[in-house]
């Protein structure tokens, strides 16, 4: 066993020398690799992160589609009715007409304009004749009175295209791209957790199987001791108390085996929940529990998913800040439209300022074409632009602070993982020596008991010590494997691409 430990330490040292700072691949069995793949594909948190990434991808496409031309078609039908009744005050602009009438009544007018004077006389005769018939010439008043109604139908098509967003669209797209990177990193974090959980369950299964072997060996030795004690009791070389002590030890062993069976059932259910395979499919699985050596000399934590996510978050906030700062730049847009308007079955029945009744059967306007370029420039917007820039600046500082704090904690965690790993290696060596000593003590106690030099109590005590030493050694190996996994996780090396 000393040779085995020395060989493992030599392999460990060679692994450190050959790694040259590159991440060491985590060697697993094909069966365990299959379970890892099944668990990653089934895990709901991984699926949730993938969905969040897809949502962000859709949002990014939506932002970039701001430059895609947008076409709108609209139409409307209206029936309108309005009653007008208002005093519009003095009407200016017709003063010349009243002065002309006064001039035509001047005695000098017929002399100066003899032809027009005859026309004025004719107009006077026409007014007198109309008065006899109850008719008067229309006159302009200072009132507005009447009713108007009609039907309207119109249709228009408009095409708009953003030419320049002031930098907001590209910066928003870049910010979302960084957000996607952060979500990809968090997906890797979830996958790493799944890998760690599956390997832990697989190691627990190996621990239970090898613990069962230790218990079976103890049961075989106790069965032999019970047979020997029964024979010795018949020959007067042992007492009934001796056989009772053996029965108590056997009952204790049976209790441990029952505890093992319950843990195994629960573990099979856990693996079934992780992988989607039936629990009974793990009944014949018997993995070995060997040391897991970590020979990666990489001390950088930059590959940690959490740190990558926070770094991407900082970059995303910086792009958001650039987007808000470009708020004051002008936005340029191209526009083209065509429209058609139609007024039909309309009527304007006016009593003032001129009595009039105008009916419109049909009035079409268009098609009307328009094409051009417009811009919008917010020169001053204290409630929007400046406050959003300040908020975005604070968000950048907040993200940087979270990233720096996480980096410090992750560096501390890496140091803890490495020291725990070194301690676990030493603990395995110690438990192995303790196991060897317990085995030698058991062999000596068995011989001494057979020769009558010690009693059954002492003999069973060495059996218990041997059993505990074997189980503690297996627990130490399990703890060492867990500490190695923590080292992989500390540098972000526990991922799909690093599983071999």
Report the CATH number at residue 308.
1.20.1600.10
Contacts of 366 (CB under 8 A, 6+ apart): 338, 339, 340, 341
The pLDDT of 395-421, averaged and rounded, is 93
SS3 361: strand
pLDDT of residue 19: 37
The pLDDT of 443-472, averaged and rounded, is 85
pLDDT digits (tens, 9 = 90+) for 256-276: 888 888 988 999 999 999 999
Whether 19 contacts 189, CB under 8 Å: no
SS3 70: strand
Tokens found for residue 49: 């992160």
Residue 109 predicted with pLDDT over 80: no
Report CA-CA distances (Å) from 199 to 33, 207, 226, 253.
9, 12, 40, 28
- Rounded to whole angstroms, the Cα distance separating 105 from 328 reads 70
- Rounded to whole angstroms, the Cα distance separating 469 from 215 reads 12
pLDDT of residue 364: 84
Would 329 be classed as within a structural domain?
no
* Strand residue runs (E) in 287-397: 331-352, 356-376
CA-closest candidate to residue 31, choices 243, 247, 201, 249: 201
Whether 484 contacts 293, CB under 8 Å: yes
CA-closest candidate to residue 275, choices 360, 182, 367, 205: 205
pLDDT band at 499 (very low <50, low <70, confident <90, very high): confident
Would 54 be classed as within a structural domain?
no
- Alpha helices per DSSP H over 147-239: 168-234
Would 265 be classed as within a structural domain?
yes
Tokens found for residue 150: 């009609």
The pLDDT of 204-214, averaged and rounded, is 90
Tokens found for residue 369: 């074409």
- Rounded to whole angstroms, the Cα distance separating 294 from 422 reads 10
Mean pLDDT over each residue of the chain, to the nearest integer:
81
Better-scored residue on pLDDT, 453 or 379: 453
Would 438 be classed as within a structural domain?
yes
CA-closest candidate to residue 346, choices 78, 148, 84, 146: 148
* Strand residue runs (E) in 88-126: none
The pLDDT of 484-494, averaged and rounded, is 91
Residue 8 predicted with pLDDT over 60: no
Would 82 be classed as within a structural domain?
no
pLDDT digits (tens, 9 = 90+) for 358-403: 787 888 887 888 898 887 777 766 665 678 888 889 999 999 999 9
pLDDT digits (tens, 9 = 90+) for 25-56: 788 889 999 999 999 999 999 999 999 999 99
Residue 135 predicted with pLDDT over 80: no
pLDDT digits (tens, 9 = 90+) for 324-369: 888 778 888 888 999 988 888 888 877 766 677 778 788 888 788 8
pLDDT band at 5 (very low <50, low <70, confident <90, very high): very low
Report CA-CA distances (Å) from 164 to 168, 278, 329, 334.
9, 58, 9, 10
Count the domains in the chain.
1
Whether 482 contacts 203, CB under 8 Å: yes
- Rounded to whole angstroms, the Cα distance separating 7 from 29 reads 21
Whether 289 contacts 207, CB under 8 Å: yes
CA-closest candidate to residue 308, choices 395, 403, 417: 403
pLDDT of residue 145: 67
The pLDDT of 87-105, averaged and rounded, is 59
Residue carrying the six token digits 């002399």? 111
Residue 480 predicted with pLDDT over 90: yes
Would 108 be classed as within a structural domain?
no
The pLDDT of 453-465, averaged and rounded, is 83
Whether 176 contacts 60, CB under 8 Å: yes
Would 276 be classed as within a structural domain?
yes
Would 181 be classed as within a structural domain?
yes
SS3 92: coil
The domain containing residue 184 runs over which residues? 2-42+171-323+384-498
């Amino acid at each position: 066993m000393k040779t085995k430990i020395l060989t493992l330490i030599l392999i460990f040292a060679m692994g450190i020398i050959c790694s040259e700072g590159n991440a060491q691949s985590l060697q697993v069995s094909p069966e365990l690799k299959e379970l890892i793949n099944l668990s990653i594909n089934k895990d709901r948190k991984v699926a949730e992160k993938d969905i969040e990434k897809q949502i962000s991808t859709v949002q990014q496409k939506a932002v970039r589609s701001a430059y895609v031309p947008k076409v709108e078609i609209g139409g409307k039908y209206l029936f309108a009715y309005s009653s007008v009744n208002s005093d519009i005050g003095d009407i200016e602009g017709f003063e010349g007409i009243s002065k002309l009438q006064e001039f035509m009544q001047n005695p000098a007018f017929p002399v100066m304009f003899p032809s027009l004077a005859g026309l004025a006389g004719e107009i006077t005769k026409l007014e007198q004749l109309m008065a006899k018939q109850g008719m008067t010439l229309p006159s302009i008043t200072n009132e507005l009175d009447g009713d108007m109604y009609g039907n309207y139908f119109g249709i228009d098509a408009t095409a708009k295209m953003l030419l320049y967003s002031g930098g907001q669209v590209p910066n928003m797209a870049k910010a979302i791209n960084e957000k996607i990177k952060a979500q990809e990193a968090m997906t890797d974090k979830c996958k790493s957790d799944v890998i760690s959980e599956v390997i832990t369950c697989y190691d627990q299964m190996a621990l239970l199987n090898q613990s069962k072997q230790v218990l079976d060996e103890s049961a075989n030795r106790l069965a032999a001791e019970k047979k020997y004690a029964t024979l010795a009791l018949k020959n007067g070389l042992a007492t009934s108390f001796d056989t009772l002590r053996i029965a108590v030890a056997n009952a204790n062993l049976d209790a441990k085996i029952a505890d093992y069976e319950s843990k195994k059932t629960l573990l099979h259910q856990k693996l079934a929940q992780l992988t989607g395979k039936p629990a009974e499919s793990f009944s014949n699985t018997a993995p070995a529990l060997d040391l897991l050596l970590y020979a990666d000399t990489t001390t950088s934590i930059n590959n940690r998913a959490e740190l990558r996510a926070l770094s991407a978050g900082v970059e995303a906030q910086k792009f958001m800040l650039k987007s808000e700062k470009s708020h004051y730049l002008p936005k340029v847009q191209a526009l083209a439209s065509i429209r058609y308007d139609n007024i039909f079955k309309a009527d304007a029945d006016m009593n003032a300022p001129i009595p009039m009744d105008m009916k419109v059967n049909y009035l079409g306007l268009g098609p009307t074409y328009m094409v051009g370029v417009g811009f919008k420039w917010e020169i001053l917007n204290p409630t929007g632009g400046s406050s959003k820039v300040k908020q975005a600046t604070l968000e950048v500082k907040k993200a940087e602070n979270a990233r720096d704090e996480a980096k410090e904690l992750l560096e501390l965690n890496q140091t803890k993982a490495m020291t725990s790993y070194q301690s676990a290696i030493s603990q395995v060596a110690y438990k192995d020596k303790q196991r060897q000593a317990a085995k030698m003590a058991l062999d000596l106690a068995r011989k001494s008991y057979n020769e009558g030099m010690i009693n059954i109590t002492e003999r069973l005590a060495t059996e218990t010590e041997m059993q505990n030493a074997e189980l503690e050694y297996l627990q130490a190996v399990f703890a060492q494997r867990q500490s190695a996994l923590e080292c992989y996780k500390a540098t972000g090396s526990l991922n799909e691409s690093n599983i071999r």
